[in-house]
Amino acid sequence: MPFNWTINVNPNEPQPPLAKFDPNPLTQVAPGDQVFWANNDSCPHWPGLLNEDGSIIPTYFMPNQIAPNSTSDAFAAGADATLQYACSLHPDEKGTIRVQG
C-alpha cells in the first residue's frame, strides 16, 4: 500500500530569504508513494522537477501553485531515482526526493 509523505515549506518559522523544505532530502520514498507539499509560508510556491543541468523541466509535476496555508495535489513517485526539485517561482529554493524500491 502506498505511503503518503509531506514536505513542509517553511514549517513554524517566518519566511527567510529562501524557503526551507522539511524534510530535505526526503528519503525512504518507495515507487508508488505519494508526496504532498504543505505551504506554511506567506507566499505561493510551485515545485517542479529539475533537469540534470539544474533547469526546471517545463512540464511541472504540480499542476497549480500552492497557495499559502494549503497543501498541494499529490505527486506519485515513480521508479528508483534521486529527484531534484525547485520552486518555479523561486528557483533558488531547492530540494531532493530519493525514491528507492
Question: Following CA atoms 23, 83, 61, 88 in sequence, which dihedral angle do they give, to the nearest 10 degrees?
Answer: 70
Could you list the residue range(s) of the whole structural domain that residue 8 is in?
4-99
**pLDDT tens, position by position, for the chain (101 residues)?**
789 999 998 866 665 666 789 999 999 999 999 999 999 888 888 888 999 898 888 777 777 899 999 999 988 888 899 999 998 888 888 999 999 98
71 grid coordinates: 497543501
User: Do the Cβ atoms of 99 and 78 come closer than 8 Å?
Assistant: yes
**Residue 50, domain CATH:** 2.60.40.420
Count up the domains in the chain and report the number.
Answer: 1
Residue 39's closest CA among 83, 93, 78?
93
10: left (phi over 0), alpha (psi -120 to 50) or beta: left
pLDDT of 39? 92
